[in-house]
Amino acid sequence: MQRMKLGSTMIQVHDLHKHFGGFRAVDGASLTIETGSITGLIGPNGAGKSTLFNVIAGVLKPTAGRVTMAGEDITGLPPHELFHKGLLRTFQLAHEFSSMTVRENLMMVPGGQCGETLLNTWLRRGRIREEERALRKKADEVLEFLTISHVADEKAGNLSGGQKKLLELGRTMMVDAKIVFLDEVGAGVNRTLLGTIGDAIVRLNKERGYTFCVIEHDMDFIGRLCDPVIVMAAGKVLAQGSADSIMKNEAVIEAYLGTGLKNKVAAEVAEEAAFGESHGAQPGLGAEAGRGGDGKPAGEL
């Protein structure tokens, strides 16, 4: 696929609304995802991040508002059409094909396979066989990378929680995409592995020009990968900026990060001084903060 010029707009969301009955899950959100960026999307639980993803990806119809992709209006297009336009996504709650093997889960992803047309399955067996061989190779590479090749022939329904998340991510690696929406790939994934996944995201972004939009609650991960970071709260965009500036933003701290972070920033400064370079921010101070706290919700401080 063509590489996109950096700086142009990949996804633009105009004043998007999604209401469930009377409840406004997304309430007039507008944001832009630049081509070639790794944009982070954070916000408290229930802020409307997944709902926003679902609207962009065509799973939900918006109540109002517009979404464009590379200038083209894609509002309300069904997900399968968006897939063919190069828009891929993962699900927050893993959506594996549970009775298929892990490898098949990956092999089914690429679109326009010759063998997906019924007539071809009878008339063009040779071509299909070749295609399958290539797909299989590719799938095995992805499995290798995600450290789950030993379960390649296991039914996907039998995977562990984290393995399912990895499979979810693996599917987006089977095809060339323009933009990939990752909804909390990190939740439940081992942190060492998450580091590796982060590296892969960076590589795909650098080498193949994928644009990413990433929802994550792990601020390490966000801080390391994402620029810019968009913060949502109560269905609206609360703030936007570089990871550093967001982490210092008082409103964001109050709504999302909590006081634990104040200590953490301090600790980080200290650590940076000590080790020179830090490989991502150190969380893990929440515990102390929590233990020291008086049980009041941190946001009230």
Ligand X SMILES: Nc1ncnc2c1ncn2[C@@H]1O[C@H](COP(=O)(O)OP(=O)(O)OP(=O)(O)O)[C@@H](O)[C@H]1O
Q: Which residues bind Mg ion (CB under 5 A)?
A: 50, 92, 160-161
List C-alpha distances in Å: 219 to 194, 235, 282.
Answer: 12, 20, 9
DSSP summary character for residue 101: B
Q: Given candidates 11, 29, 33, 49, which one binds ligand X under the rule CB under 6 A?
A: 49
Smallest separation, CB 46 to Mg ion (Å)? 8
98 binds another protein (CB under 8 A): yes
Q: 28 or 162, CB closer to ligand X? A: 162
Looking at residues 121 to 160 of the shown chain, list those that interact with another protein (rule: CB under 8 A). 121-122, 125, 128, 131-132, 147-148, 151, 155, 157-160
Q: Output the six-digit token pair for 280.
A: 């991502």
Long-range contacts made by residues 288-294, C-beta under 8 angstroms, separation at least 24? 288/263, 289/258, 289/259, 289/260, 289/263, 290/260, 293/259
**Residues 85 and 74: beta-carbon distance below 8 Å:** yes
288 lines the binding site for another protein (CB under 8 A): yes
Could you tell me which stretch among 39-47, 70-78, 115-123, 292-300 binds ligand X (CB under 6 A)? Answer: 39-47
Of positions 30, 117, 208, 245, contacts another protein by CB under 8 A: 117
DSSP assignments along 164-217, one per residue? HHHHHHHHHTSS--SEEEEESSSTTS-HHHHHHHHHHHHHHHHHH--EEEEE-S
The residue at minimum Cβ distance from ligand X is 162
Which amino acid makes up residue 35?
T
By CB under 6 A, tell whether 51 contacts ligand X: yes
Interface positions with ligand X (CB under 6 A): 20, 23, 25, 43, 45-51, 92, 151, 154, 158-163, 188
